[in-house]
Amino acid sequence: MTDALFAILASAAPLAFAGLGALATEHAGVLAVFMDGAITLAGLLCVLVACWTGQPALGFLAAAVALPFLLALVAIFTERFRANPFITGLAANLAFGALSATLSLAAFGTKGVVSLSERGVDVSFPRNLFFPAALAAAFGLAFVLKRTPFGLRLRASGPDPDALRARGLDPARYRVASWAIAGFAAACSGAILAFGLGAFVPNMSAGRGWTALAAVYLGYRRPLPILAASVLFAACDYATTVLQGVGAVPSTVILGLPYALALIVFLAIPNHSGK
Amino acid sequence: MRRFIVPSGAILAAIATIAALVATLVLVAISGDSPAESLAAFAVRPFSSAWFLGNLLDRAGLALLAALGSSVALRSGNLNLGGEAQIYAPALVSAAMLSAPGAAASGLLAFVAALLAAIALGAALALVPGVLKTRLGASEILTSFLLSAAILPVLDYLVSGPLRNPEGNLLATREIEQSFRLPSLLPPSRLNPSFLVACALAVAAAWFISRTRAGYRLRVSGTAPEFARFAGINVGSVTAGAMAVSGALHGLAGFCAIAGTWFACHEGFSAGMGWTARAVALIAGRSPLAAIPAALLVAWLQAAADATSLYSRVPVDVTAFIQAAIFLVISARSLPGLVARSRPRGARYD
Amino acid sequence: MIDRAGDAPVCETRDLRKEFRSRPDETGNYRLVVALDGVSLAFRPGEVHAVVGENGAGKSTLMHVLTGLVAPTSGDILVDGVPRRFASPADALALDIAMVHQRPLLAAGLTVLENSFLGSRGHSLDRPRARARIRALAREWNAPLDPDDCVSELGPEARFFAAFLEAVSREPRLLVLDEPTAVLGPKARDAFLSTLPSLGASIVLVTHHLEEAARWADRVTVIRKGRVTLEADRAQGFSAADLEKAMFPADLDRPARAGGTGTGQVALAVNELDASARGRVPLNSVSLSVRAGSCVAVTGLAGSGLDTLEDALCGMLPADAGTLSLPGAGAGTISLRSASPRRLRDAGLALVPSDRAFRGSHPELTVAEVASVRDAGDPSSVAPILERAGLEIDPERAARTLSGGQLQRLILARELARAPRAVILASPDRGLDARSTAELKATLSAEAARGAAILVLTEDTDWARDRSFFDETYVLSEGAIE
């Protein structure tokens, strides 16, 4: 029984990180439609650099620098050209997915599974640190949002940019920062997935980026409830895996669930309409 | 000033296309062992025989149909990103209906029934996001995308499971009856009358949008939604109707792909068509007529990329990159009608 | 009130000019709109200086320039005698110049306390101290709020105070208040205005309540069309009547209306209209009627709810209650809760919006498309409308190439093409030059003579009070008919 609990908590961690990242952009008024592709790319970069240097920590570092950077670029593009963030976000999602496949092919010669252990990288990670890390991140984000001027301004940048302008602040800066934060969260999420599996698997995020959006709304847009929602989703996922083993639900259909869920939640909470 | 002076949207599209082309050429050149050979293959191969040329045109025709669907939606101010499911599901239904035992006996009736079913299903799948936008104000960009993404795995499951052809090795449905297959116009390629239908529809769409009353309502609702509403046009109905037509066109594409090209529905059916259709739609923008040359261009790019993959070590997923690049460039200028066009009043992204 | 005339001013403006470029006119030239035309004022410490003027007079522009939101075209702002340039409100705040806007610019999702930290430098926040300070200030000013209240849950009065207290807690030397009493009841108003001098700062009070200005201000400035037309201080004495005369001089050219005496039956009636929307002034039980063949005006200054009224009457904003009826049209009574522009037009109403650019037309449509919208794009309807509008132009031109006057003529011609029973126009004279305005008035006169009922919503109080044109004038104030 405790085994199941630990497994659920550990698998909730990547989802929680993704949700926290999506929360950051949510406050800035942007729906994080790029999250799914970002997670997969992050996972690949982790594995890539880990294999290259033999150090998993450097892999994580690479992802933690690259993803925020890339997403900040897209954000700056969006601001500068007054583009529709849905579209640029989706474009980024697409590009990140393609980039993962391409890099995987270029570096490892395969679009398939890239195992770390086969390449001589130490695969023994303290898996039971994953969830505590997510918990710490949730607390951290909650603190920043409630108690630091940066967090307060981030919360205002989406719904009330005029309030920031009246104080001589530029809301665009905070919006770009939110994309970067989401990038860092995607890096954490991807790293956990990669190191947890001990490999890079094509389309590793498996729709988690979309479930993360659902978690944001289910968690009333607050960090700790989002964490709780992530655990809930992980528990459901665990249950379906068990059911699959029993042959009750076809696996391919499960793949569609994150999207369906995100859709339902998006409709139930009509925050973003037409923009 | 005449309105037909090239609008800057077209210039942007041209830039996007050229950039994509250059990027592709570079990638192609560096990915092969012999750049010269790769490039030669890229440029010439597709035209080297009736087989290659015919298939290129066939592909272009299918992409054209789907792209027309996107154009119609775009013209009404909506972005329909659910094209893949709107092609795949009708294709699956058509394949199932046309390969069912006893279908051949019903002849024309079965054919027409499958055609209508495909169109209706496509329309329904696109109508959902349309109605959601009208009633709930929910962004059709996201709802169409998510709905499609949620349905695709289910379709894959059906193809590789309950509807799978028990006799074959492939993850595909049974092949449709011989009598239902559209004849080839350029053997041995699969070019068939659907290409001509597509071109005719493109012309018809262009005429409809610019010359009819309903077409006027469509384009004004897309370009100037507030103006349209104020003047008494029911913008919600226009949105729903345009989305339905968009889906219907995608459904027609799916049907033609089955009846004219593949004769069976395989797993991941819409994957290839999806990207080409989107790319065509993005390049052609809102003009149905421009979609014809755009479709030919994109089909050529696709065919050429496939040809070079035979030569190179690293088959780069060029197509996704091109698509993403085009997405970005086109989005750079808030396309009229895509973003809610009202006076800039403390807009979120200004 | 202490006489401070001898003290050096905290802030001065010298020859302040602000120009905007307008849309191109018929000849393709841009007109310069002069919002401020050489304004020189001084604001002394401890003085309450009222700035009055009607809408569009330049008060808001002046305040925005003073507090760093907008840069002036020319002229100087001197703080303590030193010329300064403000690149943003932050610069003004750094010099202890603060402003409380008419619609308080607060972040709705944050609490009052959190809002006060939005502009703070540094990374850590001393919450207990800030909380105590806000509570103390709230007590002092009788503000109905608590630091931990979420702004979105506060009513307009509390929101005003939240923004006000935030400004006050910075201890500014110059405090600009834009229509501060708009959301206060009469008792609260008096309490507030009487406590203001205790701040010791130089206070700029922007208001349209002339009695208030006359009663509470040490000094008053009247602005009209970007210029100062009256400046007086307590020593010289001024009354509300003086101010009114300075705001509305009686030297305007008023074309008298020909024909139509407005004694026909009521052709358009609005009953008990309530409407509200986020960020808008709510309407309260608005009723009015217009007889056939007459012209009626509804006027109001900023913050009166005129824009809410326009949207509700046009069916673009669902009302909370109220009906519109066109007796004699056989259309019955239309509920404004569910009305759409289509329904109103079908009933015989013509609508001319204040937003010519995006509602009456659209920059990216052609003139032909704009003209033919009532006929679903039928090209044959274009020529008669262009002729009626007196526009000899290529119908394939983009609508954005038309000048304001041309666009208005086009819209009017289109709306009046079917001889409607009643016409509602919102700010039809806004942004028009003298000639276009005269043409507009002539067109409306002709329509009234034909027997239509004309209702004009306008912020131009001069025109609204012109008895030679309007048979009746309603004044809208804070969402209700006065």
**Residue-wise pLDDT tens digits, C366-391:** 999 999 998 888 888 999 999 998 88
Question: Per residue in C187-214, pLDDT tens?
Answer: 788 888 888 888 888 999 988 777 788 8
Task: Provide residues of C within 8 Å CB-CB of chain B.
Answer: 314, 316, 340-342, 345-346, 351, 353, 355, 357-362, 364-366, 369-370, 372-374, 376-378, 394, 396-398, 401
Q: Considering the domain boundaries, does residue A274 fall inside one?
A: no
| ipTM given for this complex | 0.79
Question: Other C-beta atoms within 10 Å of A108: how many?
Answer: 18
Contact B224 C364 (CB under 8 A): yes
Q: Determine contact: B207 vs chain C, CB below 8 A.
A: no
Question: Other C-beta atoms within 10 Å of C90: how many?
Answer: 14
Distance in angstroms (rounded) separating the CA atoms of residues C300 and C308: 12
Task: For chain B, positions 224-283, list CB contacts with chain C under 8 A.
Answer: 224, 226-234
Length of chain B: 350
> How far apart are the CA of C29 and the nearest CA of chain A, in angstroms?
28
Q: Considering the domain boundaries, does residue A273 fall inside one?
A: no
The model's confidence at residue C432, banded by pLDDT at 50, 70 and 90, is: confident
Would you state the pLDDT for residue A153? 93
Q: Which residue has the tokens 């033919």?
A: C372
pLDDT of C60 higher than 70 = yes
Judging contacts by C-beta atoms under 8 Å, the chain B residues touching residue C366 are: 3
How many Å is the Cα radius of gyration of chain A? Answer: 18
Distance in angstroms (rounded) separating the CA atoms of residues B302 and B300: 5
Assess contact for C54 and C208: CB atoms under 8 A: yes
User: Three-class SS string for chain B?
Assistant: CCCCCCCHHHHHHHHHHHHHHHHHHHHHHHHCCCHHHHHHHHHHHHHCCHHHHHHHHHHHHHHHHHHHHHHHHHHCCCCCCCHHHHHHHHHHHHHHHHHCCCHHHHCHHHHHHHHHHHHHHHHHHHHHHHHHHHHHCCCHHHHHHHHHHHHHHHHHHHHHCCCECCCCCCCEECCCCHHHCCCCCCCCCCCCCHHHHHHHHHHHHHHHHHHCHHHHHHHHHHHCHHHHHHCCCCHHHHHHHHHHHHHHHHHHHHHHHHHHHHCCCECCHHHHHHHHHHHHHHHHCCCCCCHHHHHHHHHHHHHHHHHHHCCCCCCCCHHHHHHHHHHHHHHCCCCECCECCCCCCCCCCC
**Tally of domains within chain A:** 1
Would you state the pLDDT for residue C157? 82
Judging contacts by C-beta atoms under 8 Å, the chain B residues touching residue A78 are: 349
The model's confidence at residue B316, banded by pLDDT at 50, 70 and 90, is: low
Q: Which residue has the tokens 């082309």?
A: B21
β-sheet with C202-206: strand ranges across: C97-100, C174-178, C202-206, C48-52, C219-224, C227-233
Of A91, A272, A275, the CB nearest to B327: A91
Would you state the pLDDT for residue B38? 64
Helices assigned H by DSSP within A148-250: 149-157, 161-166, 171-197, 208-218, 223-246
The CATH homologous superfamily of the domain defined by C266-481:
P-loop containing nucleotide triphosphate hydrolases (3.40.50.300)
Total-model pTM: 0.77
The model's confidence at residue B290, banded by pLDDT at 50, 70 and 90, is: confident
The model's confidence at residue B334, banded by pLDDT at 50, 70 and 90, is: very low
Assess contact for A176 and A72: CB atoms under 8 A: yes
The model's confidence at residue A246, banded by pLDDT at 50, 70 and 90, is: low
Judging contacts by C-beta atoms under 8 Å, the chain A residues touching residue C123 are: 148-150
Residue C51 structure tokens: 């700035």
Burial class of C129 by CB neighbour count within 10 A (0 to 12, 13 to 18, 19+): exposed
Question: Per residue in A115-165, pLDDT tens?
Answer: 877 777 776 777 888 999 999 999 999 999 998 889 999 999 988 888 888
Distance in angstroms (rounded) separating the CA atoms of residues C290 and B342: 31
Please give the residue range of the domain that contains residue B155.
Answer: 61-291
User: By C-alpha distance, which of A106, A124, A177, A127 is closest to A148?
Assistant: A177
Q: Considering the domain boundaries, does residue B284 fall inside one?
A: yes
User: By C-alpha distance, which of C316, C324, C329 is closest to C287?
Assistant: C324
Contact B331 A87 (CB under 8 A): yes
Most confident residue range from A6-15, A33-42, C338-347: A33-42
Distance in angstroms (rounded) separating the CA atoms of residues C81 and A69: 47
Who's near B159: CB < 8 A, 6+ residues apart?
B92, B171, B172, B173, B265, B266, B267, B269
Distance in angstroms (rounded) separating the CA atoms of residues A216 and B77: 29
Judging contacts by C-beta atoms under 8 Å, the chain C residues touching residue A220 are: none
Q: Going along A18-134, which residue ranges are E strands?
A: 114-115
Of C108, C117, C125, the CB nearest to A160: C108
Of A146, A148, A159, the CB nearest to C123: A148
Q: Determine contact: B345 vs chain C, CB below 8 A.
A: no
Q: What is the mean pLDDT of residues B218-245?
A: 93
Would you state the pLDDT for residue B350? 20
The two domains C11-247 and C266-481 share their CATH topology (first three levels equal): yes
Residue A44 structure tokens: 């690949």
Distance in angstroms (rounded) separating the CA atoms of residues C138 and C166: 10
Residue C343 structure tokens: 């329904």
Nearest CA in chain A to B151: A256
> How far apart are the CA of C351 and the nearest CA of chain B, in angstroms?
8
Q: Which of A5-14, C131-140, C327-336, C413-422 has the lowest mean pLDDT?
A: C327-336
Nearest CA in chain C to B217: C376
Nearest CA in chain B to C397: B1
Contact A156 C110 (CB under 8 A): yes
Contact C118 A163 (CB under 8 A): yes
Residue C415 structure tokens: 């709306």
Would you state the pLDDT for residue B221? 93
Fold topology of C11-247: Rossmann fold (3.40.50)
Assess contact for A183 and A69: CB atoms under 8 A: yes
Contact A159 C108 (CB under 8 A): yes
Which CA distances in Å does A54 have to A49, A120, A193, A201, B191?
8, 7, 18, 19, 53
The model's confidence at residue C123, banded by pLDDT at 50, 70 and 90, is: low
Distance in angstroms (rounded) separating the CA atoms of residues C387 and C153: 54
Judging contacts by C-beta atoms under 8 Å, the chain C residues touching residue B218 are: none
For chain B, the chains sharing at least 3 beta-carbon pairs closer than 8 angstroms are A, C
Burial class of A236 by CB neighbour count within 10 A (0 to 12, 13 to 18, 19+): middle
When comparing pLDDT for C103 and C423, which is higher?
A: C423
Of C119, C122, C123, the CB nearest to A167: C119
> How far apart are the CA of A9 and the nearest CA of chain B, in angstroms?
26
Q: Determine contact: B164 vs chain C, CB below 8 A.
A: no
Q: What is the mean pLDDT of residues A96-121?
A: 79
> How far apart are the CA of B212 and the nearest CA of chain C, in angstroms?
8
- CATH code, A169: 1.10.3470
> How far apart are the CA of C156 and the nearest CA of chain B, in angstroms?
20
The model's confidence at residue C25, banded by pLDDT at 50, 70 and 90, is: low
Contact C377 B216 (CB under 8 A): yes
Residue A168 structure tokens: 């001589």
Q: Determine contact: A182 vs chain C, CB below 8 A.
A: no
Distance in angstroms (rounded) separating the CA atoms of residues B118 and B72: 18
Please give the residue range of the domain that contains residue A189.
Answer: 2-115+126-268
Q: Report domain extents, chain C.
A: 11-247, 266-481
Question: Per residue in C173-188, pLDDT tens?
Answer: 899 998 887 777 777 8
Would you state the pLDDT for residue B14? 67
Who's near B7: CB < 8 A, 6+ residues apart?
none
User: Is the bond into B188 cis (omega within 30 degrees of 0)?
Assistant: yes
Average pLDDT of chain B, as a whole number: 80
Distance in angstroms (rounded) separating the CA atoms of residues C302 and C59: 11
**Tally of domains within chain B:** 1
When comparing pLDDT for C444 and C211, which is higher?
A: C444
Q: What is the mean pLDDT of residues B244-250?
A: 96
Nearest CA in chain C to B344: C358
Assess contact for A86 and B139: CB atoms under 8 A: yes
Residue C141 structure tokens: 């000013």
Average pLDDT of chain C, as a whole number: 83
Q: What is the mean pLDDT of residues C448-471?
A: 87
Of B227, B232, B336, the CB nearest to C361: B227
Contact A106 B314 (CB under 8 A): yes
Q: Determine contact: A150 vs chain C, CB below 8 A.
A: yes
Q: Which of C105, C123, C148 to mutate to test the interface with A (most CBs of A within 10 A)?
A: C105
When comparing pLDDT for C359 and C235, which is higher?
A: C359
Assess contact for B256 and B65: CB atoms under 8 A: yes
Distance in angstroms (rounded) separating the CA atoms of residues B341 and C125: 41
> What is residue C205's three-state secondary structure?
strand
Judging contacts by C-beta atoms under 8 Å, the chain A residues touching residue C108 are: 159-160
Q: Considering the domain boundaries, does residue A105 fall inside one?
A: yes
- Compute, in degrees rounded to 10, the torsion defined by CA atoms C170, C176, C179, C183: 10
Question: Per residue in C255-310, pLDDT tens?
Answer: 455 444 556 788 888 989 999 887 678 898 899 999 888 999 998 866 678 888 99
> How far apart are the CA of A126 and the nearest CA of chain B, in angstroms?
34
> How far apart are the CA of A33 and the nearest CA of chain C, in angstroms?
23
Residue B265 structure tokens: 């529905």
Which CA distances in Å does B172 have to A256, B167, B255, C174?
20, 10, 15, 77
Residue A274 structure tokens: 């037409």
Judging contacts by C-beta atoms under 8 Å, the chain A residues touching residue C117 are: 149, 152
The model's confidence at residue C353, banded by pLDDT at 50, 70 and 90, is: very high
Judging contacts by C-beta atoms under 8 Å, the chain B residues touching residue C362 are: 220, 223-224, 226-227, 341
Q: Which of B215-224, B289-298, C417-426 has the lowest mean pLDDT?
A: B289-298
Judging contacts by C-beta atoms under 8 Å, the chain A residues touching residue C124 are: 148
Of C90, C110, C117, the CB nearest to A168: C90
The model's confidence at residue A70, banded by pLDDT at 50, 70 and 90, is: very high
Q: Considering the domain boundaries, does residue B170 fall inside one?
A: yes
What is the number of CB-based contacts under 8 A between chain A and chain C?
Answer: 66
Q: What is the mean pLDDT of residues A224-232?
A: 92
The string of DSSP codes covering A131-164 is HHHHHHHHHHHHHHHHHSHHHHHHHHHTT-HHHH
Contact A159 C124 (CB under 8 A): no
Q: Considering the domain boundaries, does residue B231 fall inside one?
A: yes
Judging contacts by C-beta atoms under 8 Å, the chain B residues touching residue A112 are: none
Q: Considering the domain boundaries, does residue A259 fall inside one?
A: yes
Q: Considering the domain boundaries, does residue B8 fall inside one?
A: no
pLDDT of B255 higher than 90 = yes
> How far apart are the CA of C359 and the nearest CA of chain B, in angstroms?
4
